[in-house]
């Protein structure tokens, strides 16, 4: 792959990119319990699927072949997967911040 500056040149664009995006969209619909994406590293393209739920196998699949990815995920196609839990940030807790500790009375009054 030839780079010009920090941007890939127009000749580096892969015409199969549009097709792989359509296939990835189909895989995401077929396997809703997995987060599926494409990674490009230097001159390699890898497809990654990661389970969204603990205990669902396979946990992670990394391959350069979409058919292999589909075959690896096939056993979990009909697995019951609960809704993904929303990420919880500490500040989402209504008890945050915690109340200050009670003030104690010292020898000379309130400390």
41 found inside a domain:
yes
Domains of the chain: total: 1
Whether 51 is covered by a domain: the verdict is: yes
pLDDT in tens, 41-74: 888 999 999 999 888 889 999 999 999 999 999 9
Give the start-end residues of each E strand in 1-111. Answer: 3-4, 7-8, 34-41, 44-51, 60-63, 105-106, 109-110
Please report whether residue 108 resides in a domain.
no
Q: Does residue 85 register a pLDDT over 60?
A: no
- Residue 49 DSSP SS3: strand
pTM for the model: 0.58
- Percent of the chain at pLDDT > 70 equals 60
Note down the domain range covering 27: 15-78
């Amino acid at each position: 792959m030839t780079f010009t500056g920090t941007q890939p040149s127009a000749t580096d664009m892969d015409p199969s990119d549009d097709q792989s995006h359509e296939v990835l969209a189909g895989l995401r619909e077929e396997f809703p319990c997995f987060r599926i994406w494409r990674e490009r590293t230097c001159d390699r393209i890898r497809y990654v699927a990661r389970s969204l739920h603990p205990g669902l196998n396979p946990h992670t699949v990394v391959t350069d072949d979409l058919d292999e990815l589909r075959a690896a995920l096939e056993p979990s196609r009909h697995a019951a997967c609960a809704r993904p839990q929303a990420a919880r940030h500490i500040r989402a807790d209504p008890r945050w911040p915690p109340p200050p500790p009670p003030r104690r009375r010292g020898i000379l009054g309130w400390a």
